[in-house]
Amino acid sequence: MEEMRAFLLSGTTKFEFGIQTDIQLSKYDIQARKKYTLLFNKIFQSALDKFEKHIDHHPAMNHYKSTRLFNPVYLPAQPKTLDAYPNIPEFSVHNQELLGKFNIYTHLRINTEDECDVNDFWESKKESFPLLFRVAKKAIWMPFASVDVEELFSLQNSSYRYM
């Protein structure tokens, strides 16, 4: 989602839109190119506004942001305190073992240059971080038939009805 946001944001100010589009635009005079460029920028801005309206206020957004902690690719950019994750109930009980393992996990140096499969990563950490493994498994692999998930989809469907 962050990549999509960055792509849309860059489109609101850029002057080049890809080889094929640029070739087509080069057939026009400078005034027409400026006009089309401004039009494309406005289209990107409109798409960005819609993206932010629907994604930033989605009922599952807080859960999504919290679960990024368990993806090693995003780990370096995540907060390093349990209090930063109020949507994860297991983190509200601060026992020393969990706090210690959380501190070790959040300061791991993980090579994420290669594709990282989150499932494989957590399977490999099951023994080292058993408490976090259970929390990660629950947070990332939500059951598709749970009442909470169905409720989220229901809320989302009803919000689309009133647009």
* 18 shares a domain with 43: yes
The reported pLDDT for the residue numbered 161 is 46
Q: pLDDT band at residue 142, thresholds of 50, 70 and 90?
A: low
Q: Is 138 left (phi over 0), alpha (psi -120 to 50) or beta?
A: alpha
Determine the pLDDT at residue 21: 85
> For 30-49, b where at least 16 C-beta lie within 10 A, e where not — what string?
eeeeeeebeebbeebeeebe
Q: Mind listing the pLDDT tens digit for each residue in 35-69?
A: 988 998 899 899 889 888 887 777 777 777 778 88
Domains contained in the chain, number: 2
Which pLDDT belongs to residue 154?
Answer: 63
Could you tell me which residue, 17 or 46, shows the higher pLDDT?
46
Q: 95 and 68, same structural domain?
A: yes
Same domain, 65 and 83: yes
Shared domain check, 72 and 27? no
Task: Mark whether 66 and 93 lie in a shared domain.
Answer: yes
Mean pLDDT in the chain? 80
- Domain-embedded: residue 130: yes
In degrees and rounded to multiples of 5, residue 54 shows phi and psi of -85, -40
Range of the domain at 24: 2-55
Residue 13's pLDDT is 80
Decide: 106 and 75 in contact? Cβ < 8 Å.
Answer: yes
| pTM as predicted | 0.55
**Arithmetic mean of pLDDT, 129-136:** 90
Residue-wise DSSP of 82-104: GGG-TT-GGGGS--HHHHHHHHH
Distance, CA of 105 to CA of 6 (rounded, Å)? 28
Domain closes at, from 55, 72, 92: 55
Nearest partner of 101 among 89, 86, 90, judged by Cα: 90
